[in-house]
Amino acid sequence: MRKTYYSWILICLKNSFIHEALSICLDTRYHREDEISPDGVCISHLPDYKIIYRTMQTYPEILDFFMTLFGSILTDIREKTPLVHHMTNYVTVNDCANITLCIGASPVMAHAEEEVGEMVALAGALVLNIGTLDTLQIDRMFIAAKAAEKYGIPIILDPVGAGATSLRTKTAQRMIQELSISVLKGNAGEIGTLAGKQAQVRGVDSGGVNGDPTEITCGLAERLSCTVVMSGPIDIISDGSRTLLCENGHPYMGRISGTGCMAASVIGSCAAVTQDYLSASATGVSAFGIAGERAAVDAAGPGSFKCRLFDSMASVRSDDVDRYGRIRSV
């Protein structure tokens, strides 16, 4: 059973979805409609907590399932140090490289047409960021993305400024239509624009979106068959069938440039070690948010906060995500 299942068990339990949690735990060995525990005892009359207890008595190894959560993805990153290929903007390229190193992955920033396809073949994930777009870069991004599709490498798209100008909007729309995007990460204005909703984007900053953000995120994820992350004070993460809210973070993260770009790098690092891109995205935004919370404790302002952010990201442990991650399902 994949480690990322454990995270869903915890979420199910936190939301009192006891039988769903058991179904995940026991896979084909237990089905709610059978009303039978793994040891063959009828359990339809038992309270939920006793069903859990009896199940764990019968299968002690299931206890481990409840103890290994989203943090296992961080463990895998630091053990495997996957290569994450970035084609990003020149404003935050150094920040993206450093935050990738801090989480435990290895960044590479290759843009030349002659090598992007070859470099992608070596990577565990491809991060595309359209923050400083031009026509040459667009062509190179498509070359890299087509290579990623060929090799089965996840593509993380950050449609920076979609909705602000026609070039950015049309490029982002073309990407989600023509490419197999694994994770689409943007702010409310960017995601709302790509969902076809009325949204406000000023430069690269979000002015909001008309409509329910959770429904918009979930609907776009279902339409694109990918994971969509709408960043904000509460991050919304959905693959169309499962939707999570993450409440980690600090207001200082909105007062320095590059945190959105860095979040995409962290998500890309997580996606490089698991095919469960919803769990990868939840792990990424939560770990990055925890780092932001810790960095703000002793920061005198945005400048010192940014320096501390990298140190905090490097010090976030696997069990920190499980203990301090404020993730819930909706």
From CA 182, how far away is CA 268, in angstroms rounded?
Answer: 10
- If one counts every other C-beta atom within 10 angstroms of the C-beta of residue 1, the result is 13
The predicted structure's pLDDT at residue 163: 86
The predicted structure's pLDDT at residue 155: 98
Give me the domains of the chain, ranges plus CATH numbers.
4-67 (no CATH), 71-329 (3.40.1190.20)
**Torsion (CA) 29, 34, 37, 43 in degrees, nearest 10:** 160
- pLDDT, one tens digit per residue, over 197-248 is 866 555 544 456 677 889 999 999 999 999 999 999 999 999 999 899 999 9
Name 155's bridge partners.
Answer: 126
Pairing of strands 235-238, 227-231: antiparallel
- pLDDT, one tens digit per residue, over 125-150 is 999 999 999 999 999 999 999 999 99
- pLDDT, one tens digit per residue, over 300-330 is 999 999 999 999 999 999 889 888 988 888 8
For residue 43, pLDDT over 50 is answered with no
Q: What is the pTM of this model?
A: 0.80
* Percent over 70 (pLDDT), the chain: 75
Q: Give the 3-state secondary structure of residue 52.
A: helix
Mean pLDDT across the chain:
83
* Percent over 90 (pLDDT), the chain: 66
Q: Read off the tokens for 184.
A: 């689409």
The residue behind tokens 């801090």 is 102
